[in-house]
Structure 1
Amino acid sequence: MTSTTSVSVNFKRNEMVILGSEYAGEMKKGIFTVMHYLMPKAGVLSLHSSANEGPEGDVSLFFGLSGTGKTTLSADPKRKLIGDDEHCWSDDGIFNIEGGCYAKCIDLSAEKEPDIFNAIRFGSILENVVLDEESREVDYSDDFLTENTRCAYPIYHIPNAKIPCMGGHPKNIILLTCDAFGVLPPVSKLSAEQAMYHFISGYTTKVPGTEDGVVEPQATFSACFGAPFLVLHPQRYATMLAEKMSSHKADAWLINTGWIGGSAANAKRCPLKYTRAILDAIHSGELAQAEYEELEIFHLRLPKSVTGVPSELLNPKTAWNGTLEDFNRSLSHVASMFVDNFKIYEDQAAPQTLAAGPKL
């Protein structure tokens, strides 16, 4: 023991011991880590993602860390929710590991998150929340114990849940990022090689309210959008993802839910309505047939138009509020962070994955 909190997993004996934690999520994350070990051995890809299914049976996977919109964007009234956090992709399609949800509750309200709010009823478990002493009602704004207040509830508490929590092979792979520097486009179409590169990179921004001590946006990288749970080299999971994408003709997209027109210091985040319009265009097939242009350095393909989104916002260069020199400097800065981060994976990364990264 080197600390007061310990999570130990014995893969040989299939045992896990959790000591000193006041976060019940360690149980599900421990099992998720075990799945990252067992599933690839059986040819099944374990994924830190949410998933939903359209009326025609088309499945989308959403990858993203806290604060990128993974839970919010996968909750679509036009599509059925398969799961919000942990899935596996086998030869028969995808399936949810949990059969339930483990939602953040801080500042929860019926107006902002009606599905989650209404899911909290008999059969759900609230964690680390504070009750009003007189009314005995939960005060979701109270962070006296922690900002990481939670609720666990079964998937069938969500009205449009897919039961059983299974789906066919994904048609769209959506990598969500939250770029605090304002240089990545709201949406770009990725090649299989680029999908591997950005999947391994797992770039996003830690934003206030997602982790203790984060009071302003901070750039970060988390391999496969779930580094703490990985047991094998990230390239192993990325190769499996690319192979399954190729076998089942899935498209990959990078969606930036972060800032547009400048950095977090002087610009605003992409409005949710525009991100939802982009997702609608992906699911309708509009973006698969769109006309594209390329963003230099990253060589990302950007659609020239998306229904419901102002065209000038689709290219971060034209959306930039400052000078072209400032934009190019910021773009190069973000690219250099990608390159520096990827050095730790170069020893086992596939040549085509390395080639898909930014070129400085």
Structure 2
Amino acid sequence: MATLSNLQGNCYQDLINAKYSASRLGSGLGYPAQGLSSVGIRHDDQFYGLEELGMKNLGQIYRNLPVPVLVEHALVRGEGRLATNGALCVETGKYTGRSPKDKFIVEEASSWSNIDWNKFNVPISEAKFQQLYQRVLSYIQGRDLYIFDGYVGADPRYQFGVRVINEFAWQNLFVHQLFLRPTAAELEGHKADFTVISVPGLQADPEVDGIHSEAFVVLHIGKRLVLVGGTHYAGEMKKSVFSLMNYLMPQQDVLPMHGAANIDHHGHTALFFGLSGTGKTTLSADPDRSLIGDDEHGWSAEGIFNFEGGCYAKTIHLSQENEPQIWSAIRFGSILENVAIAPDSRVLDYDDGHLTENTRAAYPLTYIPNCSISGVGGHPKTVIFLTADAFGVLPPISRLTREQAMYHFLSGYTSKLAGTERDITAPQVTFSACFGQCFFPLPATVYAEMLGDRLEQHPETQVYLVNTGWSGGAYGIGKRMSIKHTRAMVSAALNGDLDNVKYTPHPVFQILVPERVPGVPTEILNPRNAWEDAEAYDQQAQELARQFVENFKQFGSVRPEILEAGPIVR
């Protein structure tokens, strides 16, 4: 992490000398009396409602600061450095990805019977939550705080107010860019339905606090309150709000989805489901289509809407050629997490993963040139499930029946890629229901049945399974699927080029494999043909099929037609 002493270049020293009083850095960033003194800063009689949360004896409070001011604060506080493209670069220390083993949901009466308690939704007592909360309140005394008040849910009919309270300016910039930003009028009457308090500098005591490590992410659904501590990884804030939405949206007959969405000039919407690292952000950022959002959406009776106002893209091996929209979106106002930066020239190296493979960029949706400003779209014409198959078994693209779609939605198969979570250094085969089970508090079958209902209500919607993983062999033997070919297959699905193509059922997985796709070599469409040893492929396919079947046993109550849509084990 940068410090004031190692911020190189005269521009930083000029900034410090001109804007701030260094003597006040410990208790609050002090602006001169003129100029920016009134921008988002608490007046003596105004606490923005923090006292209702039990917060007192605070330092300076900053609310909804403009992006340039937040960047200035982050630089002066030594929280990061500016890259040559203008992005703010930060390092998150020990935690360079989500820490799912440190996430807890409070046992409380209003939600207890609804939660699918499992290894992802781990209970913590109300007493332990209150103990942690008191530690947070003690920790923030005398400290400066940053508030972002905004919204989640682009459709006003399903919108919630969100408040995020941060100890770091850069994390407040992150949520400012990731959530929906209010107008001046909206800010005046803003009401927080969700509150997130993020204090990365506070480390918990596992023995005393009844948790697993110094890090904690605790959701109190009844209070709609989230505590985040001990971890600097900003994605924890974003995903905590997503988890709350995933609990509440089904109550309003909205299917919450871990997926991206875009729309063409005819108004045809497409959905992209997939876990982190499978290509949601890259494939949904299509220069020929308008991006609705890259990660979190709802499917209501009226159509699709984005939960967020920004994007959070993986940047490892990012290139201008393969991801031109993401490349150009990384500029002033964007945040880069754990991306290597030269200390003197401030040139970025997206191929350097020495800190983590999970390097990230956060930026507002408006940084994508042809984004959908409204954040809404009609019912999808095309749904794409993305998987990165480390076995090299699944076809690069296949069409799914409604029952197969429900089966693969519940399975959520992919390979967990390096860096997405702590201690993951090589791809691992994983199943994550709904393509993000750790974010969904309710039983997975609730969301799967909602998906099935939507597909039944809209029979024109086509569902495809796209493998962005390996071909010609398993990981270490085969090759990663060409992004050029993947884009061609996705484009063919979106443009209707696959509507009248002949399909052949896969002999093991039963999914429908097209005989041709424009712009894609025919020999790679059938994965068995891409292997040098066909018998080795058959053995690998059976092994993967057995893992599918074993994983699916957890959904013992699903309807027989969904079970029958799975792979055939011999």
TM-score normalized by structure 1? 0.93
State the partner residue of 2:408.
198
Deviation at 1:270, TM superposition (A): 2.0
Residues 33, 229 of structure 1: 8 Å contact kept: yes
> Which residue of structure 2 aligns with residue 351 of structure 1?
560
1:179 paired to 2:409: no
Task: For 2:466 and 2:281, locate their aligned partners in 1 and report how far apart those are by CA, in whole Å.
Answer: 14
Superposed displacement of residue 70, structure 1: 1.5
Corresponding residue of 2:477: 266
Q: How many equivalent pairs are there?
A: 358
1:10 paired with 2:220, answer: yes
Alpha-carbon distance, 1:106 to partner: 3.8
Q: Using the alignment, how far apart are the partners of 2:537 and 2:332 within structure 1?
A: 52
Percent identity (aligned): 52
SS in structure 2 at match of 1:51:
strand
Aligned residue in 2 for 1:299: 510
Cα distance in 2 for residues equivalent to 1:105 and 1:39: 30
C-alpha distance in 2 between matches for 1:140 and 1:315: 33
- Name the counterpart of 2:323: 113
Structure 2 CA distance for partners of 1:105 and 1:294, relative to 1, 3 Å: closer
Q: Tell me if 1:70 matches 2:280.
A: yes
Q: Which runs of 5+ in 1 are unaligned?
A: none
CA drift of 1:349 comes to: 2.3
Task: Name the counterpart of 2:438.
Answer: 228
Q: How many Å apart are 1:8 and its aligned residue? A: 0.9
* Alignment match, 2:146: none
**Residues 168, 342 of structure 1: alpha-carbon distance in 2 compared, 3 angstrom cutoff:** same
Q: What per-residue deviation string (whole Å, max 9, x for no partner) do you get for residues 129-164 of structure 1?
A: 455433345554555654433332111011011111
1:276 to 475, 483, 487: 487
* Preserved CA contact (<8 Å) 1:103 1:152: yes
Q: 1:292 to 1:133 in 2, by over 3 A?
A: closer
Q: Which residue of 1 aligns with 2:235?
A: 25
Equivalences for residues 82-121 of structure 1 within 5 A: 82-121=292-331
Name the aligned partner's letter for residue 478 of structure 2.
A
Contact 2:277 2:314 in 1 (8 A): no
Question: 2 CA distance for matches of 1:285 and 1:202?
Answer: 25
Q: What 5-or-longer segments of structure 2 have no aligned partner?
A: 1-208
Once the two structures are superposed, the pairs formed by residues 39-54 of structure 1 within 5 Å of their partners are: 39-54=249-264
| Structure whose residues are more often strand by fraction | 1
Aligned residues of 1:235 and 1:350 also touching (Cα < 8 A):
no
Taking a change above 3 Å as real, the CA distance of residues 284 and 134 of structure 1, as seen in their structure-2 partners, is: closer
Letter of the aligned partner of 2:428 in structure 1? Q
Give the CA deviation at 1:339: 0.5
What is residue 340 of structure 1 aligned with on the other side? 550
Task: Give the 3-state SS of the residue equivalent to 1:289 in structure 2.
Answer: coil
Q: Which whole-Å deviations, capped at 9, do the CAs of 1:247-298 have from their partners, x for residues lacking one?
A: 1221111111122222223221221222111112112212121111111121
Counterpart among 500, 520, 530 of residue 289 in structure 1: 500
Per-residue displacement from partner, 1:107-127 (whole Å, max 9, x unpaired)?
445445332232223332333
Contact 2:297 2:305 in 1 (8 A): yes
Residue aligning to 2:142: none
Write the distance in 2 (CA, Å) between the matches of 1:6 and 1:215: 22
Q: Which amino acid aligns with 1:253?
A: Y
Q: In structure 1, the residue corresponding to 2:499 is in which secondary structure?
A: helix
Q: 1:331 aligns with which of 530, 538, 541?
A: 541
Q: 1:309 aligns with which of 520, 523, 533?
A: 520
Deviation at 1:202, TM superposition (A): 0.6
Structure index of larger Rg: 2
What CA distance in whole angstroms lies between the structure 2 residues aligned with 1:5 and 1:311?
49
**Aligned-pair distance for 1:244?**
0.7
Matching residue of 1:135: 345
Is it true that 1:122 corresponds to 2:312 in the alignment? no
